[in-house]
Structure 1
């Protein structure tokens, strides 16, 4: 069993929610920038390869934001599995927004499955 403090669990849970929200905000802003760039560059007379590079760079930024969000959620699942094997009492720490809250309860199971960490 792992010894986790309630304070640490609550801080980490809020950090996950804040990080996911920040990544969603970045994705939204990048999508708007992409749309603005497409609209602004249409009919500009710029060479097609220059416009293509702008498109590819913004798509790359979106892919990186998606991948970062996916990694944060994967880490959150791993941390939840750790929490299940801790001495911490049951806490209603919630889930990354906008999903409904969930409750984590310590497990009597001392072995972790690979599914718990993914």
Structure 2
């Protein structure tokens, strides 16, 4: 990735890329997510848009930039908030997938399982990469 591309990337996307490259740990992403502004498609009715993926559970898609949201959903009404504030709105049992169309896609599992289960999942994922 050249310098111009890195400057165009959001900090959140860069941290996700660094975690997948093994340069940083998942806790770094969690910290970046908490303070980052994320973008999500807004539903017509009050509530969050959640996708049911059968045995893979329920997920909400969020994006690190409005451009990524538009690339995914086309021009659409959206809202933005910090990752920490978003997690306060997401009901238990729903995961959050950041930038689902990109290679650096990143799951935020804090509402799905206790921290020890999330740590075990990350350990298994790291071994498989």
Structure with the larger strand share? 2
Q: Which has the larger radius of gyration?
A: 1
Between 1 and 2, higher relative CO (CA 8 Å, sep ≥ 6) is seen in 1
Greater helix share, structure number: 1
Same fold, judged at TM 0.5 (above)? no
